[in-house]
Structure 1
Amino acid sequence: MATRAQRPAVRTARRPRHSDEAGLIPVLARAVREVEAAARRGGRVSPAARAKFQVAALLVREERARVKSDPEITPAEQANALRRLDGLATILAKTSARDTSLLTLLADDAVLSSAARDLRRKMLIAGGYDAPDEAPAPPPPSADSAPAERQVVPQSVTQRHLANPFLAPDFSAAQELRRPRARVLAGWELISPLLRAFEQSTGSAPACMPLPEPSRRGVPAGLTLMKHQAEVVAAAEQGHRTFLLADEPGLGKTAQALLAARAATAYPLLVVVPNVVKTNWAREAQTWTPERRVTVVHGDGDTVDGFADIVVVNYEVLERHVGWLGKHDFRGMVVDEAHFIKNEKSKRSRHVLQLSDKIRSRMGRPLLMALTGTPLINDIEDFTAIWKFLGWIDDKGPRAALMNRLEDAGLTPADRGFYAAARQAVIDMGIVRRRKVDVAADIPARRIADLPVELDDDAGRTIREAEEELAAHLVRRYHRAVEVRMQQRPGDPPLEGIDLDLVRRVATAVREETSETAAGDNVFSLLRRIGQAKARLSADFAAQLAHNVGKVVYFAKHLDVMDVAEEVFARQGLRFATIRGNQTRTVRQANIDAFVEDPEVAVIVCSLSAAGVGVNLQVASNVVLAELSWTDAEQTQAIDRVHRIGQDMPVTAWRIIAAQTLDTKIAELIDSKAGLAARALDGSDEEFSSVDVQVEALVRLLTDALRAESGEAESGEASESSAGYAAAPRARTARSAPTAIAFASAPEARD
């Protein structure tokens, strides 16, 4: 049977019409309604309906990608088609929430049955496509086979290779690469016993390698490492080169990895991450290693700096770049959210392992770090791919360094003490696992960690266009005000530069003319649209937290954002409760009790207005703020649902920020007003409201637009906010989780 990756392409000799009653979309709509009706009847969905669900979901995704790239259809046709496809995707998502086993049909390695392939062909023909006959399925690709996706080599990378074609020899690996001393363990199969050593361990068994006393050297001025972070950096300074860094989320794994690379001089450094945290890694690299150049790989890599010291690439585009990355002479590699590679048959796992092998073959002892918040004790089989990435094992058994540690114990799997010794041998290879409770003394009782995310899809594009239109409207109002003033005072000299007082008056007037329910592009509608665009990303991150560290409180301002979050949690098999403003007191309390008392309820989805006060949720220690508040007070009230008397864990509030949008300006304003508000408590008469923040946001938007219009060099607060998101010191440990695969999203749209 053919997998999704092996299906033949659809030929479009007959171009389908785009009217409401013709083309593939009506065919899909009928199939989706039939699947929805089957799911509503209760019980497990029949095999025929499951096949129809699988085919419909895959064709919705394919049709959406085709519509977006078709140059022959008009913008109106495209918008109408995308709207209808998004509606079908929403129905499919709700259907899968009724029977979550349907989600397995959309996995990368999901197989299309013969009945499903036949149904797919019939639906394509009914929709106006010429569907070819099924070709024999090709054999599955091997790890060494050429990737199916088009390979690219950025021009600047070619220039770097021409400038520095030779790699200095590295003889530091002679000790590591010597042949293993197979004596006692000769002939034993050891992978299964090593896994069993972790499965059989007790809760009191150590889960962290011995770490040296921390060094304070090499930390940029104005920044401070916590003790547990500095210990890992000190280990890298002393020559340790492989780490499975499995600290709980919120303990600063990103900073540890970047400073370990600095300590090991592991440059160029390759960092492989989920798409959602590419921006955060670039920002953190500039913060912790400002002397090093960092470049982020987007799409085909047209903007890649081939001479950069740190190269950040996301899993989704790795296949496109694996060719040149394997020849780039990296001296270190970091894999973030390393549990992504647990399935060794997946493409991303094969590419990560391939790159690791090439780096080790060139360097001998490169710095290799796998970062994950997933506890080591769960599903230990998933960690074999990570051990292979780190060079501890291969397909046959332990490599030299680990084998020699096992031989030093003088025991075999037949001996009673072997398993404890084997577990310690693996841990000493570089496993580092700390929990919040273990390092509570290092961590502030309450922290706000900002996570900037890139909105690269259509939603991000339209948000930026709307923001530009709002800025243009402000600029027009400003110029009209200047003209009126010149007419009223003809003797005044011409205006030079920007009149900041006039900027503020224009911003205030525009704010006073706008309400939260007003139509069109304004500061309220923009922030709402940004929240909608961030909804899936923030929910994915909350789900990852729930899987890693337990219960999570998820706050949003708008019901549509809450709806998207609940769909994500249902699709990922997470039980959740909800607090909304339209609930009765009885329902509200029942949902709170379920979250607090039922260990299976992992997330509670809360409205900022409905759950911001009077609710005790201190059973959790992680809060996700999916949308920004207009005031620091509202944000603080939400966090205080968890940070309360009786809370015995440090609380981390993860604030999701849309980079290079109005979101960044508002986040900075909220933080600055919070500092002023704190001073007000000490005696100042100043008070700050949501209106202040809204006006200030418009002031910054208008000031940046006027500077761009006049070509002035940007400086000060306005230029800092327009350039992207500048992190506050308290946000140094922000990290994230992967983006889930949306029904209606083509894979390339998430690159």
Structure 2
Amino acid sequence: MARRGQGRSGGAHAAPGAQRRRDPRRTAQGIISVLAEVAREVDGAVQRPPTRPTVRTKFQVVALLVREERARVMADDALTAVRRGEELKRLDGVATMLARTAARDTSLLELLADDARVSDAARAFKASVMRAGGLEPPEVPSPVAPTAPVLSASTQVVPRSVVSRQLANPFLAPDFAAAAERTPTRARRLAGWELLEPLFRSFERAATGAPACMALPDPRPVSVPRGRDLMPHQAQVVTATARGHRTFLLADEPGLGKTAQALLAAQAADAYPLLVVVPNVVKANWAHEVALWTPSRRSTVVHGDGDRMDGFADVVIVNYELLDRHVGWLGDLGFRGMVIDEAHFIKNRTSQRSQHVIALSERIRARVARPLLMALTGTPLINDIEDFRAIWQFLGWIDNTVPLGALQTALENTGLTPADAGFSAAARASVIDMGIVRRRKTDVVADIPARRLADLVVELDGAAGRSVRAAQSALVERLVERYRMALEMRTGGATVDGIHHELVRRVAAAELKDSSSKAGGENVFTMVRRIGQAKAGLAADYAAQLARNVGKVVFFAKHVDVMDQAEQIFAGRGIRYASIRGDQTPRVREKNIAAFVDDPDVSIVVCSLTAAGVGLNLQVASNLVLAELSWTHAEQTQAIDRIHRIGQTEPVTAWRIIAAQTIDSRIAELIDGKSGLAARALDGAREEDVSSSTTVQLDTLVGLLTDALVSGAVA
């Protein structure tokens, strides 16, 4: 960092654009004193939660300037060793103060990451702090809009089924209204005003303390498949879509059914074909939800190069990581709607995934006048509102520099400018009316059951998934072979029509007995354990997402290796957790429970299903992840009852992780089907009616064998 004026030779060697000093002696004192003063102000504010965006900005700026000033001091040859030591000691004092502050609110640590975004507001505040400390801020170049990603022909693929669809439909029907929708609104009164920054700041300046949520219509009856129930708050979004609303930032808390709302909104808007972009962990679950809520619509999931996808499907599901490979044909397929799940994944506008998502949205909006665009996220809106810049751009509310279309018109109609006192409140309301929907569990507590079991279907990829499927195939082949041998012995080789169901059950019982008595070999028990190991990473990933969105989460698993794997993932992501296991002493157990219940920084407790299924009170959480399935409904219920108990003030959601195309699905169905038997047992049902682990294990094998015989899949 070069100095201004006399006092240091060799100033010509300073880096271009380096900071210039006004008075070397005054500045050495001044900047550090200013940083210490701001750091004390931030620490005081963090002790009065919640931490507001302005406080977060000040924390980040002080940390950046401490880092820059330390580098300057270390590189300044004009300083004596004593003087350098004094300045470094003072900087260490400021850094210690920042560390203490971050310990009070660990979310502040995200602002120190190398890739943390520095907002325009942070740059402006940094300049003011530097001037107060006697430094002249460097000239800031004009902002450059993110450039569209350059697509390499070598990485782009076009699945064969997509080519078939394009050949079958070589011309997309033109939508002449789309051109009118893209005609820019003339900003007559607001011409020349900078509007985006005031829009973002309005969510801080005009915050009311209540969740940001547009006015929604009274719910109207929505047609849903038999056995499905739509809650009133979900029906409100579908009703708004049916009445013509087409852009939503749906930020309901996890557990309030955002997926169902999006799929039924697409049905109400006839937004097919529909593109759904999601994290990899929930790809299979979206396909599962399509089948549940809109069974008349076909879905397809894109894996790898898309060799197994259905190019003629109504709903195309792809994960963010594959967009760079498929963005070309996705932009040409003719989608009339697009949904992005966990939309905070695109908060960094300069990332390739964000640019791909925005580019696809722009291509859809260029072709369709009023497409359905939905961004789903459970992350609270009022954290750093600029994180939503890319989401607003995806929705077509803004571009890189100005508000667009309906939002620009709404701002014009306020009759205000950013210089007017009421602009922030009016601007915030204008953005919310564009389609921000945020409901918390406590807001709709009358709509939802006190406890809810939600299945999250995941697909097992990689070597672990192949190993599970191979083991299940081997188990089925053995069952079929045992059945055929038994049938031949019974009939003497005579042909038998249909399936001998009594014999199927006897074969399954024999297999179960052998599995229980033999230590080695593949059997139904090792299969379930393999599945648990393969699901561990996916379950931990989802628990981490929940912890970020809603706070404390209870994570249950049956096997120690699944718990170990989950804890490694949490530790690798910097998530603090507690652990409750069967081999702990009572003292350690109580210490870990207290850490989860009392320490706000401990986000997750990892529990053994057998060791922690009873005798615990974890009602500080209202979300629970069941990483592995139980063999009985009672064991599952006991786990859920750790948080669903007297004193719980929020509805409880238990997220059950189920591996697609494995016996996991069958076990879940059997557990649910036998729950009524368990309930009747409490009211005096006969002993043989009560569900047991043995009956579930036996029925699982019976189902596997029956399905194989019906399908004839095994030769």
Same-fold call, TM cutoff 0.5: yes
Q: For the Cα contact (< 8 Å) 1:214–1:234, is it kept in 2? A: yes
1:280-336 Cα deviation digits (max 9, x unpaired) = 111211222222222222221222222222111111222111111111111111111
The yes-or-no answer on 1:706 pairing with 2:709 is yes
Is 1:237 paired with 2:215? no
Deviation (angstroms), 1:659 = 0.6
The Cα shift of 1:163 comes to 2.4
**Other-structure match for 2:451:** 446
Which among 446, 456, 462 is matched to residue 457 of structure 1? 462
SS of equivalent residue, structure 1 residue 470? helix
State which drifts further: 548-557 or 406-415.
Answer: 406-415
1:696 corresponds to which residue? 699
Query: What is the identity, as a one-letter code, of the residue corresponding to 1:466?
Result: A
- Residue equivalent to 2:369: 364
Give, in angstroms, the shift of residue 588 of structure 1.
0.6
Q: TM-score, normalised by structure 1?
A: 0.74
TM-aligned CA deviation for residue 496 of structure 1: 3.0
- The correspondence for 1:274, drawn from 264, 275, 279, is 279
SS at the partner of 2:230? Answer: coil
Cα distance in 2 for residues equivalent to 1:516 and 1:246: 51
Q: 1:709 to 1:576 in 2, by over 3 A?
A: same
**Does residue 397 of structure 2 align to residue 397 of structure 1?**
no
Residue 192 of structure 1 pairs with residue 197 of structure 2: yes
1:648 CA drift (Å): 1.3
> For residues 447 and 410 of structure 1, do their structure 2 counterparts lie closer, same or farther at Cα, with a shift above 3 Å needed?
same
Distance 2:349 2:115 in 1: 18
Q: How many residues get paired?
A: 576
Structure 1: which 5+ residue stretches go unaligned? 1-99, 108-139, 713-751
User: Does the CA-based 8 Å contact 1:516-1:525 persist in structure 2?
Assistant: no
Query: After the TM superposition, which of the residue ranges 601-610 and 222-231 deviates more from structure 2?
Result: 222-231
When the two chains are superposed, the root-mean-square deviation of aligned CA atoms in Å is 2.3
SS in structure 1 of the partner of residue 455 of structure 2: strand
Is this contact kept in 1: 2:708–2:714, CA < 8 A?
A: no
Match of 1:151 among 144, 150, 156: 156
Shift, 1:425, TM fit = 0.8
Q: Which residue in the other structure is 1:289 paired with? A: 294
Give me the whole-angstrom Cα distance separating, in 2, the residues matched to 1:341 and 1:324. Answer: 21
Change (3 A) 1:196 1:104: closer
Secondary structure of the equivalent of 1:438? Answer: coil
Report the counterpart of residue 535 of structure 1 in structure 2: 536
Question: Could you tell me which residue of structure 1 aligns to residue 81 of structure 2?
Answer: none
Going from structure 1 to structure 2, the CA distance change for 1:465 and 1:702 (only over 3 Å counts) comes to same
Structure 1 residue 475: Cα displacement: 2.1
TM-score by length of structure 2 reads 0.77
1:479 and 1:290, CA in 2 relative to 1: closer, same or farther beyond 3 A?
Answer: closer
Larger mean CA deviation between 274-283 and 354-363 belongs to 274-283
Distance change >3 Å, CA 518–CA 321, structure 1 → 2: same
> Could you tell me which amino acid in structure 2 is paired with residue 627 of structure 1?
E
1:383 aligns to 2:388 (yes or no): yes
* Structure with more relative contact order (C-alpha pairs < 8 Å, separation 6 or more): 1
Partner of 2:641: 640
SS across alignment from 1:655:
strand
1:665–1:328 Cα change, 3 Å: same
Alignment of 1:33-48 (within 5 A): none
Match of 2:217 in 1: 212
Question: Unmatched 5+ residue regions in structure 2?
Answer: 1-108, 117-144
Shift in CA distance, 171/231, structure 1 to aligned 2, threshold 3 Å: farther
Moved more, 568-577 or 437-446: 568-577
Are residues 1:226 and 2:231 paired?
A: yes
Q: Is residue 587 from structure 1 mapped to residue 592 from structure 2 by the alignment?
A: no
Alignment correspondent of 2:332 = 327
**Aligned equivalent of 2:573:** 572
Partner of residue 267 from structure 2, selected from 262, 270, 277: 262
In the alignment, the residues of structure 2 paired with residue 429 and residue 147 of structure 1 have an alpha-carbon distance, to the nearest angstrom, of: 36
Q: Which residue of 1 aligns with 2:675?
A: 674
Give the aligned partner of residue 618 of structure 2.
Answer: 617
Aligned to 2:37: none
Answer whether contact 1:149 1:319 (CA < 8 A) is retained. no
Is contact 1:392–1:401 with CA below 8 Å preserved after alignment? yes
The alpha-carbon distance between structure 1 residues 141 and 366, as it changes in their structure 2 partners (threshold 3 A), is closer
Number of the residue aligned with 1:684? 685
Paired with 2:509 and 2:612, the residues of 1 have a C-alpha distance of 31
293-302 or 424-433, which deviates more: 293-302
Contact 1:176 1:401 in 2 (8 A): no
Displacement of 1:348? 1.3
Distance 1:613 1:359, change over 3 A: same
Bigger shift: 179-188 or 604-613?
179-188
Aligned letter for 2:710? Answer: R
Match of 1:168 in 2: 173
3-state SS of paired residue (1:513): helix
**Counterparts of 2:599 and 2:439 in 1: how far apart (Å)?**
26
Output one character per residue of 1:419-466: Cα deviation in whole Å (capped at 9) or x when no partner: 111111111111000000000100001110011100021101011111
The answer on 1:246 being equivalent to 2:251 is yes
SS at match of 1:515: helix
CA drift of 1:688 comes to 2.4
- Deviating more after overlay: 698-707 vs 233-242: 698-707
Q: Shift in Å at residue 377 of structure 1? A: 0.5
Cα offset for 1:216?
Answer: 0.8
Supply the distance in 2 between the matched residues of 1:473 and 1:530 (Cα, whole angstroms): 19
1:511 equivalent in structure 2: 512
The answer for the alignment partner of 1:471 in structure 2 is: 476
- Cα distance 1:426–1:544, how it changes in 2: closer, same or farther (>3 A)? same
Provide the C-alpha distance between the structure 2 equivalents of 1:172 and 1:682, rounded to a whole number of angstroms. Answer: 64
